Amino acid sequence: MEEVRQDGGAKDGIKRSSATSVGYESELQLRVRYQETDQMGVVYHGNYFTYFEMGRTELLREATGASYRHVEELDVMMVVSEARCQYLKPARYDDLLTLKTRVARITGASLSHEYELYRDDVLLAKGATTLVCVNKEGRIVPVPDWIRNFNKGAVPGNSE
C-alpha cells in the first residue's frame, strides 16, 4: 500500500523481528455477487466495507490460526470506530477481485487496517478502518497480546 511493505508478510516463513503485527499483510480473493450490485450496474459503494471485514477476518486467521469468532468468545469485541473508502474504478458483477489487507497501526486499544481492492492489476478502491477493543459491558480494553503480536502460540484456549 502507501508505505513500504515490511518483512511481516510471513509469506517467507521468517518470523518478524518487530514486536507487533504492524505491517502484516494478507490477500483474499472474492467473487462479486449479483446481490452486491445496484442499478448502476456496479457494486454498491457500501458493500466494500463488507469486503474489508472479510479481509480483516482472513488476515487474523492466517496470522494467528484463530477466527475473529474466537476473539468474541474471549469477551473482546472489536468495534469499528472509523471507516473510509476511495472509489477509483467500479467493481462489477462476477468480477474476481483481490483484496490486500494490511495492519497499519496499533495503539493501546485500537487496531487500524488499510485495504486495496484489485481486479487483475487494476486498483479499484482503497480503504481504511479503525477498530476499538471493548468488552461485553462496552468498556474499552487493551488489544489482546496475541493479536498485537500475532503470536500463534499465545492464542488463549484456541482449538481451531
First CA to last CA distance, the chain:
31
Applying CB under 8 A, among 50, 75, 123, 152 the residue interacting with a second copy is 50
Q: Under rule CB under 8 A, which residues in 52-91 are in contact with a second copy?
A: 53-54, 57-58, 67-69, 72, 77, 79-87, 90
- Residue 159 binds a second copy (CB under 8 A): no
The smaller minimum CB distance to a second copy, of residues 14 and 96, is found at 96
Is 94 tagged catalytic? no
Beta bridge partners of 100: 27, 116
- Is residue 31 involved in binding a second copy (CB under 8 A)? yes
Cα(117)–Cα(114) distance, integer angstroms: 10
Q: What phi and psi, each to the nearest 5 degrees, are found at residue 45?
A: -60, -35
Among 12, 17, 19, 94, binds a second copy (CB under 8 A): 94
Residue 116's H or E segment, with its range, is strand 110-119
CA 86 to chain centre: 16
Bridge partners of 118, per DSSP, are: 98, 123
Radius of gyration, CA atoms only, the chain = 16
Minimum CB–partner distance for residue 27 and a second copy (Å): 10
**Residues designated catalytic:** 38
Q: Which residues contact a second copy by CB under 8 A? A: 1-2, 28-31, 33-35, 37-42, 44-47, 49-50, 53-54, 57-58, 67-69, 72, 77, 79-87, 90, 92-94
